[in-house]
């Protein structure tokens, strides 16, 4: 059996990957490119076929995928899905070998991560919560920001794998800390997108050349990764999902609930959470979160 990443043994750890969506597919493929043997499972056959075409191995079940894995990585939409794949007779904890390292890269509640780590410890399985930021482009380019919660030794073991997926990789504290930082990240991103969307509508209604304006704004203090990544979405009104409104709605629920629990006021965040919820209620939940522009346009009387 291969050893965990970071060992002096030349063999890389065997990796199981559960969840091959917009983020999971390119991330798993980057691991394959880095020389890891990846066995994957997801519910959609076409995504299993994609993994196999990239050089991975498609499994028929979670149990089959994780049985011989040294490292198990999960990337699913929310806490209920993490719980569904982790617990029960067909889940990860009942079928992974003792000593395996489970890295959950989903964006979920901090408490879900804490509970999973406790349950896994009883099975001899180590856990890191390691949500990411950077969207589909960051996943494809392997430049994600990865915020990690867990034990230092487990983080050290996992770091070579994480370095194949991202560029900024930080241990933020004990179990659940990665999810707390990710919640803060989603707060900042949502507020930033909303501000950009309002600026776009203001600029266009003022008759300014939008491309020129966004270029110069992005070169100054108003510049941001959000504006760099989403500028073309705004210019072209291209809202093909890189990160869906549905998921950002879930994340805004996480951050507002977590903030309430610790007594932190989020006055601007609360407003943006409602704007995200409103956009979703209008049927735009499947669009990219840059579609917050559509909500501002509606409020401003634009014809969509």
Helix ranges (DSSP H) in the chain: 24-33, 45-53, 62-66, 79-86, 92-95, 110-121, 135-141, 152-162, 177-205, 210-217, 225-236, 245-262, 267-279, 292-299
Q: Read out DSSP for 178-207? A: HHHHHHHHHHHHHHHHHHHHHHHHHHHHTT
Residue 302's pLDDT is 80
| Residue 188 near residue 252, CB atoms below 8 Å | no
Residue ranges in the chain modelled with pLDDT below 70: 1-10, 303-304
Angle (nearest 5°) at CA 184 between 183 and 187: 90
Domains of the chain, by residue range, sit at 15-174, 181-299
The pLDDT value recorded for residue 242 is 86
Per-residue pLDDT tens over the stretch 205-253:
999 999 999 999 999 999 999 999 999 999 999 999 989 999 999 999 9
Q: Residue 213: is it exposed, middle or buried by C-beta count within 10 angstroms (0-12/13-18/19+)? A: middle
Model confidence, pTM: 0.90
pLDDT, residue 303, reads: 66
Pick the CATH number of 181-299 from 1.10.1040.10, 2.60.40.1180, 3.40.50.1820, 3.40.50.11540: 1.10.1040.10
Distance separating alpha carbons of residues 198 and 60, to the nearest angstrom: 47
Catalytic residue among 159, 167, 182, 231: 182
Query: Do 15-174 and 181-299 agree at the fold level?
Result: no
Asked if 182 is an active-site residue, the reply is yes
How far from 122 is each of 71, 94, 104, CA to CA, in Å?
17, 11, 17
Taking Cα atoms as reference points, which of 15, 30, 25, 14 lies closest to residue 163? 30
| 246, 289 Cβ separation under 8 angstroms | no
For position 66, what pLDDT does the model report? 98
Homologous superfamily assigned to 15-174? NAD(P)-binding Rossmann-like Domain (3.40.50.720)
**How far is the C-alpha of 299 from the C-alpha of 304, rounded, in Å?**
11
């Amino acid at each position: 059996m291969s050893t965990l990443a970071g060992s002096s043994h030349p063999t890389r750890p065997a990796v199981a990957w559960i969840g091959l969506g917009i983020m999971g597919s390119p991330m798993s493929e980057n691991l394959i490119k880095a020389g890891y043997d990846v066995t994957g499972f997801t519910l959609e056959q076409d995504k299993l076929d994609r993994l196999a075409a990239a050089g991975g191995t498609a499994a028929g079940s979670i149990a089959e995928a994780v049985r011989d894995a040294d490292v198990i990585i999960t990337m699913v939409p929310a806490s209920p899905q993490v719980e569904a794949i982790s617990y029960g007779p067909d889940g990860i904890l009942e079928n992974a070998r003792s000593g395996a390292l489970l890295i959950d890269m989903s964006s979920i509640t901090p408490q879900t991560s804490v509970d999973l780590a406790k349950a896994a410890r009883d099975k001899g399985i180590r856990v890191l919560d390691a949500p990411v930021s950077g969207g589909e482009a960051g996943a494809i380019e392997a430049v994600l920001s990865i915020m990690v919660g867990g034990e230092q030794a487990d983080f050290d073991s996992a770091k070579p794998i994480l370095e194949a997926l991202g560029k900024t990789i930080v241990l933020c504290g004990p179990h659940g800390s990665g999810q707390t930082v990710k919640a803060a990240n989603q707060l900042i991103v949502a507020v930033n997108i909303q501000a950009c969307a309002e600026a776009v509508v203001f600029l266009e209604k003022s008759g300014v050349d939008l491309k020129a304006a966004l270029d110069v704004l992005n070169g100054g203090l108003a510049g941001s990764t959000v504006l760099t990544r989403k500028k073309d979405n705004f210019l072209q009104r291209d809202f093909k999902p890189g990160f869906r409104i549905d998921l950002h709605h879930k994340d805004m629920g996480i951050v507002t609930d977590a903030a309430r629990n610790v007594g932190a006021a989020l006055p601007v965040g609360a407003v943006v959470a409602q704007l995200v919820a409103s956009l979703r209620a209008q049927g735009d939940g499947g669009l990219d979160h840059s579609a917050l522009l559509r909500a501002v346009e509606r409020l401003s009387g634009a014809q969509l």
